[in-house]
Structure formats: C-alpha cells, structure tokens
Amino acid sequence: MIRLTWVQPEDLVGHELRQAGEDGRGDLPQVAEITARWHAAGGHDAPPRAGASEAAAARLRPLAESLLDELAAIPSPLAEPSDLDAIVAACPGWPSAGTAAKADPARLLGAWQGRAAGCVLGKPVEKIPREGIRQIAEATGNWPVTGWFTAKGLPDDIARRWPWNRRSAVNSLAENIDGIPEDDDLNYPLLALSVLERHGRGFTTEDVAKLWLDELPAGRTFTAERVAYRNLLDGYEPPQTATRRNPFREWIGALIRTDVYGWANPGDPATAAELAWRDARLTHTANGIYGAMFVAAMCAASLVAGSPEEVVEAGLSVVPSTSRLHEAVRLAAADAAREPDFERVIDLLHRRHGTLHWVHTINNAALVAATLIHGRGDFTATIAGAVAGGWDTDSAGATAGSVAGALNGGMPDRWLMRDSLASSLTGFDGVGLGELARRTQEMMAS
C-alpha cells in the first residue's frame, strides 16, 4: 500500500493540534477534549510516528477525519483575517495603489539571478539544523559562508553526522552545479509568470488552480499545496481548498510563490500584495497569506528602493499590524539593526520561534527580514545569513537573494551559474534567466 505524505488524515491531526496551539485555540476546552480523545485512541502528535503500521493507520483514519472537521469548526480568537478587505482594514499604513514605476532591466535580471543563487546555496543543507550547517562550512573552510557548499575535504564524521539532502546535493554543490537545478522555489515563480501571461493582471484564484491542474505535477507539491491539490481533485473550490483538513495553511508555501507579482508591479506594493493574495488564498490562510503578500510587496519595492530598510517597511505595510507575522518581522528587523553579530540575531530568532516547524511562514519571514537588514545590501552576506539560520534554507535563501539581487542590480560573479533552468513545467525546461526577466518586464503595467 502506498502512503502519501501530507494528506493522510491520521498524519494531519497532530499537525492541526499544533496549529491550534499557535493560533490561540490550544487552551480552549474543546481542543483539550479533542486532544484527549485522539491520544486515548492511540493517535500521535506531529510529526507522524515512524514505523506506524498500515493497520493502525486504517483504524485511526475515521476518527482522524472526524476530529479534523471538529477542529476546523473552532475559530481562532486572534484578529488575523484572511479576507482581503479585512486585511487592508487591519493595515494602518496600507499603501495607495498607483502606477508602477519603470524598472531598471538590470535590477529585474538581478532579482531572478538572486533568487536562483539563494535557492541553490540552501538546497544541499535543507533539513540540516544551523549547528550542522556551521560545522559543514567550518570544516570545508567556508565559514562565514562566502561560496557554494562542497563535499570536498569534508571529514567523514561530520558527513555522517550531518548528511546532505541527497536529492539536492547531486546538483547543488560546488563540484556538481551545472546550470540551475529544478526546485519548487523556482517552479512557483514560473507558474506565477504563466498565470500573468495567460490570464493577465485580472487573473483569479480559480485561474491559478486550473493552471496547477494543467501544469504542476502533484508529486512536486508539498504540505499545504499538496492538501489543496487533493481538495481540488475532491471537488472543493477556493477558499475551501485552503481550509479543508489543511494544518499547513500558515506554512511557507505561499510565501515562495509571489516574487513575480512584485516584479510585475515595481514601486507598487499594494497591487503586488493584492495579486499575491489571489494566489495565496488557494492554499493558505491568515499568516500564510500575509507571508505571500509581505514578499510580493518587498519585491515590488526592491526594484526601485535604495535600501533594505525601505524594502522591509514596504513589506510590513501590507501585513496586519496586530498579526503574529507583523510582530515577528518588526522585532527581527530591530534585532538585526542593533546587533553586530548575526549569529546572535539568529539566537534571538530561535529563542522566539523555536517551537514553530522549520517550514513555517513566521520564523522564515522573520529570518529573511533580519538578514536583509543585517546584510546592508551585501549580496553574499544576505543569502548566507538566510541559509545559516537553519530553517527552510533554500526557500529563505531564494527570497533573500531575490530582494538583494534586485537592490544590487546583480550579484558577484561567484554566484552566477550556467544560464539554463531545469524544470518539469511545460515550456520552461532549459529557459534562461535573461529570457524570464524579459517576459516578466512585459507583464508590467504600462
């Protein structure tokens, strides 16, 4: 029997209980009673228990389905809306939508290049905690990180203690990079570009869903995206695709999808954020949506801004001021501005957000903001900081690289790869970043 991760009900209850603890429901008596019933039946917390038998999973499944639906009926007490009008109302500094500025083509190309470089830097160390990343880098003479990771010269004991992400290390180490390897952090910007090219700036969430079903292999989706994909196939429509039995709805998936909406609206973070909302609501709610809007607004600003501080402020302007994400980013930016040692900044972030999953939106968005501020425009320091944080290394690296590459209008030659991007998406395999930048420029408002 094939067990698919991220969709089995008995594997989702623990994650939903964890989500309840994060969104203010954890102390409610209804949630406590559901938790007790789940544990009494032999249900496990998140992550799923290794080695659980198929018979045990089948026995738990009907209860899991029932409990997931019961938990979904309990609203969060936090003031964190998912509706666009309510989000705008919750942002005192929501920017006025205006005519997009004219973007420098070099900055747009730098954004694509930076996203690719940051992503590839983080690929081989994905799922390795920050202490392991540092040990690998130090053992190979690459600490502080100033170049690609390498297996050359890595002592056997460290290699055994901190094994590479095997699927990624085959094409993302210094000795084997040949072009830009495929990654979901690069496929999703391609899909965003496709939805703009096919449907224009007035695209809908349903257009995004249809494009996914047409072009995105289900096996290339993870966490909230895989659940939403399943919900689409089960006949549910947005926004139910984001809410039905989806405990990953505040994780990082939507955040990594929205750079292009910012690049298509240089200097107009409000419009960028609105387009990001239309995409994100397919799979996410609340802080998961805010992360997507935050990044789109930052990317819009990055093509015209003069500093990382200006970019982060643009991002915060479209995030509800009372939300957990807003507080996390604001504190992270303040830490980075005050503290000269970035390792101490990361210590503070882990102390504050260490209970969150390593692919949650809040901790990774805070890390991206911190490394942008602390990097002070230095491309290498910025992507290195995002990866050294030890959470979603390729996603955080990609987003930080996108902004830093745009601000700088490029990046040091050491981070340039052969200009050919691998992708399983129709029509994109082997595409060059220069071609993508040109097509993105064509999507800008005239």
Of residues 51 and 148, the one with the higher pLDDT is 148
pLDDT recorded at residue 94: 98
**Is residue 152 in a domain?**
no
User: Quick check: bond before 320 cis, omega within 30?
Assistant: no
Residue-range definition of the domain harbouring residue 409 = 84-119+181-442
Q: Report the pLDDT averaged over residues 369-383.
A: 98
pTM value is 0.97
**Is residue 109 in a domain?**
yes
Both 207 and 280 in one domain: the answer is: yes
Query: Are the beta carbons of 217 and 424 closer than 8 angstroms?
Result: yes
pLDDT recorded at residue 167: 85
**Is residue 272 in a domain?**
yes
Residues in the chain: 446
Mean pLDDT is lowest, of 4-8, 94-98, 101-105, for 4-8
Both tokens of residue 327?
A: 């507080």
Q: Taking the chain, what is the end-to-end CA distance rounded to the nearest angstrom?
A: 54
Both 286 and 316 in one domain: the answer is: yes
CA distance readout (Å), 12 to 49, 50, 69: 12, 14, 11
Domain final position from 33, 48, 72? 72
HSE at residue 241, side-chain half, CA atoms within 13 A, is 27
Both 115 and 204 in one domain: the answer is: yes
Both 111 and 13 in one domain: the answer is: no
The angle, 0 to 180 degrees and rounded to 10, between the axes of the packed helices 342-353 and 379-388 is: 40
**Is residue 149 in a domain?**
no
Residue with tokens 């203690």: 161
pLDDT tens for 142-152 read 999 999 999 99
pLDDT recorded at residue 234: 97
**Is residue 143 in a domain?**
no
Both 194 and 329 in one domain: the answer is: yes
Q: CA angle, corner 414, sides to 412 and 418, nearest 5? A: 110
Domain final position from 72, 100, 127? 72
pLDDT tens for 270-323 read 999 999 999 999 999 999 999 999 999 999 999 999 999 999 999 999 999 999
Residues with Cβ within 8 Å of residue 127, at least 6 apart in sequence: 165, 358
User: Quick check: bond before 155 cis, omega within 30?
Assistant: no
Amino acid (one-letter) located at 432: G
User: Quick check: bond before 92 cis, omega within 30?
Assistant: no
Both 15 and 114 in one domain: the answer is: no
Both 13 and 115 in one domain: the answer is: no
Both tokens of residue 414?
A: 């050491």
Domain final position from 72, 99, 127? 72
Both 241 and 112 in one domain: the answer is: yes
Answer whether residue 103 shows pLDDT above 90. Answer: no
Residue with tokens 């703009």: 196
DSSP-derived letter for residue 251 is B
Both 251 and 288 in one domain: the answer is: yes
Answer whether residue 178 shows pLDDT above 70. Answer: yes
Distance CA 248, CA 149 (A): 30
Distance CA 77, CA 86 (A): 15
pLDDT tens for 387-417 read 999 999 999 999 999 999 999 999 999 999 9
pLDDT recorded at residue 101: 82
Both 371 and 425 in one domain: the answer is: yes
Q: What is the mean pLDDT of the chain?
A: 96
Both 342 and 376 in one domain: the answer is: yes
**Is residue 231 in a domain?**
yes
**Is residue 191 in a domain?**
yes
Q: Which alpha helices (H) appear in 222-375, and where do they start and end?
A: 223-233, 240-243, 259-263, 269-280, 286-302, 308-316, 324-338, 342-353, 361-375
Q: What is the CATH number of the domain that holds 382?
A: 1.10.4080.10
The total number of structural domains in the chain stands at: 2
Distance CA 380, CA 376 (A): 11
Both 198 and 332 in one domain: the answer is: yes
User: Quick check: bond before 239 cis, omega within 30?
Assistant: yes
